[in-house]
Amino acid sequence: MTNGVFITDSTNGVRIRADVPLTIRNGYQVRVVSFSGLSDQLEHVALVFDGDSESSDAPLVRLHSQCLTGDVFGSTRCDCGGQLQDAMDRMAQDGGILLYLIQEGRGIGLYNKLDAYKLQIEEGMDTYEANQHIGQPDDARDYKVASEMLGALGISALKLLSNNPDKVDQLVNYGMKVVARVPTEVHVNADNVNYLEAKIKKSGHDIDLSGACCSWHE
Ligand SMILES: [Zn+2]
């Protein structure tokens, strides 16, 4: 590929491995980028949207944690699928970089997540109580690899598309300059409202549910 200027100094040896043009859902044109030398050795990818008004000095970036049930199957237990689609819609328009991170279940893995779901459904635990019950942390995600991927893409400053203040804090700690945090849209339904409320209460997520409709609040 010839488009894009990739700089691989100052990234602890992390390099672009392949940069592959792909047409995805809705006809969006992206480049899927893989890496070599990532510190956790997992197969994270970046989706690069060139968009109409790409801002090269501080592009819009989303760190999206893989969620098989939400992203692929459209599960209503979480808001991941809607968040992913929104991010792609926005970036197809304006440009941006979506890091798709292998961090299923906030980093505890798919099977542990399903164990935690079972406790939530059968015992009425919230997402954090369930994780504790199975001996897993509330959130096992570390965004060091995200900073490595961004570094390999030549990015040191960005606007972060997220409601999660921990992502901003971690990226800053790993040397990124986060010039703005852009809130994501809220996807509430009867199945995930408790999950979203727990994220607000226990993880400090900046989500406004007050305008969300409907009957489950009544
Ligand atoms: Zn999810």
pLDDT tens digits, 162-181: 988 889 999 999 999 999 99
The one catalytic residue among 15, 17, 139, 169: 139
- DSSP, collapsed to helix, strand or coil, labels residue 146 as helix
Domain 15-103+141-203 -> CATH class? alpha beta
Q: What is the pLDDT of residue 213?
A: 39
* CB atoms near residue 122 (< 10 Å): 8
Q: Is residue 139 annotated as part of the catalytic site, yes or no?
A: yes
Residue 209 pLDDT: 66
Q: How far is the CA of 22 from the centre of ligand 1 (A)?
A: 24
203 versus 108: the higher-pLDDT residue is 108
Locate 175 and state its tokens. Answer: 């040397």
What is the average pLDDT value for the chain, to the nearest integer? 86
Centre of ligand 1 to C-alpha 126, Å, is 14
Which one from 141, 142, 181, 206 is the annotated catalytic residue? Answer: 141
83: left (phi over 0), alpha (psi -120 to 50) or beta: alpha
The whole-model pTM stands at: 0.84
Distance from Cα 12 to the centre of ligand 1, integer Å: 31
State yes or no: is 141 an active-site residue. yes
